[in-house]
């Protein structure tokens, strides 16, 4: 590895350590600390997406502003535990965006409005499930499965792919990803879940053998995380960008680092309520 490669590796490593420390602090704290963190991540991620798809520019932020307002409204519903109103809040947000669309016509195109609404769901609502999972019974332990399924799966898939990868999983979208790596990622995530469950089983309120449940949750979640990773790559390819941003040195933007977490968080929440 040349000096440039070593420098990039060190940057990515230090950034990764910082992210892990931030995750530890905010998730262990829970409550308002985690709520604020998820809100900020959602707003930054939404900003990155809006810039990538052309909804927000230096000269025009009006339509994008409706998305940010929508995110704040949605998170207020969560913090005040009024989840039953979450769907009606989505309807209100859509109406607000359509109002901007029709009263400024023909300033915006219909696909820009659809992209703006999509961003609220894709980024903010999906990321909010980190907070919602943390608030479940045993949520202090279940929430970590989100990261085992995403970051853990990604690491295991990379290692197995480098050693044994031969068959391309999505050659046009992500040529470096292999079927062998994907299998390794799923198995690795399952093992991480089982080991984690064994370590914390004495602190869990749920009955039965958590090792099987946590392993199953992680394996299913890891499959979904791959879809999230590839989906983020597809959006970038469509809009001809390498990274969503430069906020995290060596990793890119929020969406570059949380692309798989976005899909994994709601899946873990669902599986946890059903299986755990």
pLDDT in tens, 215-267: 999 999 999 999 999 999 999 999 989 889 888 777 788 998 888 999 999 99
What percentage of the chain reaches a pLDDT higher than 70?
A: 96
Cis preceding-peptide flag for 8 (omega within 30 of 0): no
pLDDT at 3: 57
* pLDDT tens per residue across span 6-33: 666 677 777 778 877 888 899 888 899 9
Matching residue, tokens 């969406």: 255
pTM: 0.91
Other Cβ atoms less than 10 A from the Cβ of 87: the count is: 9
Alpha-carbon distances of 244 from 25, 52, 124, 247, rounded to whole Å? 25, 7, 16, 9
In 3D space, the residue among 67, 78, 68 whose CA is nearest the CA of residue 131 turns out to be: 78
Q: Residue 259: exposed, middle, or buried by beta-carbon count in 10 A (0-12, 13-18, 19+)?
A: buried
CA–CA distance, 48 with 71 (Å, rounded to integer): 14
């Amino acid at each position: 590895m040349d000096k440039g490669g070593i420098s990039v590796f060190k940057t990515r490593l230090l950034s990764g350590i910082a992210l892990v420390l931030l995750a530890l602090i905010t998730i262990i704290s829970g409550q308002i600390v985690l709520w604020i963190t998820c809100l900020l991540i959602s707003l930054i991620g939404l900003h990155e997406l809006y810039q990538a798809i052309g909804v927000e520019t230096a000269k025009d932020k009006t339509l994008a502003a409706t998305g940010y307002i929508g995110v704040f409204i949605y998170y207020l519903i969560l913090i005040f535990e009024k989840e039953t109103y979450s769907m009606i809040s989505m309807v209100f947000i859509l109406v607000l965006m359509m109002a901007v669309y029709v009263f400024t016509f023909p300033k915006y195109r219909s696909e820009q409005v659809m992209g703006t609404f999509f961003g609220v769901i894709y980024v903010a609502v999906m990321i909010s499930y980190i907070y919602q999972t943390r608030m479940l019974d045993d949520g202090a332990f279940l929430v970590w499965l989100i990261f085992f399924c995403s970051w853990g799966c990604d690491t295991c898939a990379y290692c197995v792919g480098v050693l044994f990868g031969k068959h391309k999983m999505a050659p046009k979208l992500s040529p470096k990803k292999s079927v062998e790596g994907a299998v390794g990622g799923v198995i690795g995530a399952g093992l991480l879940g089982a080991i984690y469950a064994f370590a914390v089983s004495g602190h869990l309120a749920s009955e039965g053998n958590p090792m099987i449940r946590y392993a199953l949750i992680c394996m299913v979640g890891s499959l979904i995380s791959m879809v999230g990773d590839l989906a983020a790559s597809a959006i970038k390819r469509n809009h001809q960008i390498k990274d969503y941003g430069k906020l995290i040195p060596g990793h890119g933007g929020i969406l570059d680092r949380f692309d798989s977490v976005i899909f994994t968080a709601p899946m873990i929440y669902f599986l946890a309520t059903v299986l755990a």
